[in-house]
A and B are shown apart, each in its own frame.
Chain A
């Protein structure tokens, strides 16, 4: 069994702060982490490896610093890590990113068969959820987004049964392999990695691939050049003018409630009450 997991190093957006004066993002000091969904994708791959044998390859496109994220993946159980890093890749939108990742995966498949491609549901820096579907489309492999469970996996028959969450419920899909899954966190709970993995990771150096080697990418499809979308403007969400503010401590509770109900009534939002009123103390 060979699983390839695409991971991305992202700023920990729970720690992102906005400079109140300039309205810009303070990027400095924001720790970089492996995109949380990708960690679960990798865990799923490692579980499959434990069950069926084989190997797990992790892949990322990013700056040299992203090697840190790959090392963390080796700690978690990846066998091989590839960093796609080149100035020419910089500024890529999801179309250009999926072009590079798909090209790299083709190259990996040329070395030997790949059974499963695992992606995170979305990257928390951009929240686009577009790269996985883009790569599946380019590779012409079946796509299952929002996967929450692999019910069955048969590398010999080359089929799998996967659960996917949608607004309507959970779809149970049977797919041919290789398939590309983008995963929710439920796909696999993270286990604490054994120490030998960390020792191996501390010694590991990821392979670095650039725009020319070992895949000769088409420069026109890379980075900013290959990205149809551009950011026109970035700004912090505008605040709306504040409304009325009343204090219980100043007016007393009854007056506040009275005022509230008057305002709600005036806004025409009280009518929505259910016709069958009456909690306890309601009508006779």
Chain B
């Protein structure tokens, strides 16, 4: 089906698909972020004919299908089968590829999670189309009327906008948290719309055909939900010493946030990679990001520039972090941070006293 001359049917819906990623009944929020983006893209692409649809695979995931409708999918393509209980590449890739071949979506978005990246390439290979990995920005090219998927390359030193001109669907994986999480629609609104529907499809594959079994899952020892934290206090090499970390933890506590770090601290073995923000770490989108003793290298910035408010503390008035900080404090973090902690605590206890 590759390189089909007729790329866009003259009539009929133009489908923008989003994979709803779930494991054990838990949806990865990137799925909702993608539905939000898909709704925006639909308007940009073709307000009349473009529609957003979700793809959902698993077992006993009907409730999730309903939720997908609330996040703006007009239709959910649902495959439920015991073979799909745990994620495995083959049955998922087979199921999804068949759906793609049957419905020919124009755009297909998948979260750049370990599941999504495992799956997306297998699907793209099966349907022989282009796939852009790890995007940070999606738009419709106004002239070409196709998806313009922007992603960092060369260690984040360069951004590239990738186009897929002649193959469909145009596939992209998108990092969690680079797109905003949309508000779900109120339930009434979906019920009012007759178009919200769940369409079931068979998998067409039996367990015996899958050459891989999951024996067990060793749960992650340490789960740091940086991606979804509201407040992050991040420290960099400017801490000088691992003994500086408790100070930042105190600030994080005082602000109700969590601790993150730049890569050198991970490389030095002070904290686990779970805490790393940036190109090779996590992308975060907190309301407040405090960067203490972080120079603001491009590889760090790509992970946190989407923060609502950036407070940077750095000795060097020319540190690049100040270019993106909403408020930059030029000073020694060992002076500034304790003072901040004191004031925050004083405020809080002051409030208590007043009660």
Please tell me whether chains A and B touch each other in their complex, using a CB distance cut-off of 8 A. yes
Q: Which residues of A contact B (CB under 8 A)?
A: 11, 13-14, 16-18, 25, 93-95, 98, 124-134, 136-138, 141-146, 161, 163, 165-176, 179, 227-237, 239-240, 242-249, 253-254, 256-261, 263-264, 267-270, 272-274, 277-279, 281-283
A129 to B352, CA, bound (A): 52
Specify which chain A residues have a CB less than 8 angstroms from the CB of B120 in the assembled complex.
130, 133
A252 to B: closest C-beta gap in Å = 10
B183 to A: closest C-beta gap in Å = 17
A125 to B129, CA, bound (A): 21
Asked whether A234 and B160 contact (CB < 8 A) given A125-B153, A228-B130, A269-B309, the answer is yes
A95 to B133, CA, bound (A): 12
* B133 A170 Cβ-Cβ under 8 A: no
B153 to A: closest C-beta gap in Å = 6
B287 to A: closest C-beta gap in Å = 5
Specify which chain A residues have a CB less than 8 angstroms from the CB of B298 in the assembled complex.
237
Complex partner residue of B330 from A235, A248, A277, CB under 8 angstroms: A248
Q: Does B336 contact A (CB under 8 A)?
A: yes
A236 to B298, CA, bound (A): 10
Residue-wise interface mask of B (296-335) relative to A, using a CB-CB cutoff of 8 A (1 in contact, 0 not): 0010011001001111000001000011111111111001
* B212 A240 Cβ-Cβ under 8 A: no
Specify which chain B residues have a CB less than 8 angstroms from the CB of A144 in the assembled complex.
212
Q: Does B166 contact A (CB under 8 A)?
A: yes
Residue-wise interface mask of B (83-124) relative to A, using a CB-CB cutoff of 8 A (1 in contact, 0 not): 000000110010000000000000000000111011111101
* A165 B326 Cβ-Cβ under 8 A: no
Within B214-233, which residues are at the interface with A (CB < 8 Å)?
214-220, 230-231
* B129 A268 Cβ-Cβ under 8 A: no
Since A169-B217, A233-B160, A245-B327 are in contact, a sample of 15 more A-B pairs with Cβ atoms closer than 8 Å, ordered by chain A residue number, is: A98-B121, A124-B155, A142-B212, A143-B90, A143-B122, A167-B113, A167-B114, A168-B23, A228-B130, A231-B161, A237-B156, A245-B322, A257-B340, A260-B340, A263-B311
* B256 A273 Cβ-Cβ under 8 A: yes
Q: List 9 A-B contacts (CB under 8 A).
A: A126-B153, A128-B133, A174-B214, A228-B128, A239-B324, A248-B332, A267-B326, A269-B231, A281-B349
* B309 A264 Cβ-Cβ under 8 A: yes
* A172 B218 Cβ-Cβ under 8 A: yes
* B324 A242 Cβ-Cβ under 8 A: yes
Binds A, one of B32-40, B69-77, B235-243, B247-255: B247-255
Which range contains the number of B residues in contact with the other chain? 35 or more
* A237 B302 Cβ-Cβ under 8 A: yes
* A129 B288 Cβ-Cβ under 8 A: no
* B302 A272 Cβ-Cβ under 8 A: no
Q: Does B205 contact A (CB under 8 A)?
A: no
Specify which chain A residues have a CB less than 8 angstroms from the CB of B165 in the assembled complex.
228, 230
* B328 A243 Cβ-Cβ under 8 A: yes
Q: Does B195 contact A (CB under 8 A)?
A: no
* A14 B155 Cβ-Cβ under 8 A: yes
B95 to A: closest C-beta gap in Å = 14
Complex partner residue of A269 from B117, B125, B308, B335, CB under 8 angstroms: B308
Specify which chain B residues have a CB less than 8 angstroms from the CB of A167 in the assembled complex.
28, 113-114, 220
Residue-wise interface mask of B (135-170) relative to A, using a CB-CB cutoff of 8 A (1 in contact, 0 not): 000000100000010001111111111111111000
A123 to B336, CA, bound (A): 40
Specify which chain A residues have a CB less than 8 angstroms from the CB of B353 in the assembled complex.
283
User: What 4 pairs across the A-B complex have the smallest Cβ distances?
Assistant: A228-B130, A248-B331, A13-B155, A133-B121
A253 to B339, CA, bound (A): 8
A16 to B156, CA, bound (A): 10
Specify which chain A residues have a CB less than 8 angstroms from the CB of B211 in the assembled complex.
141-142, 175-176, 179
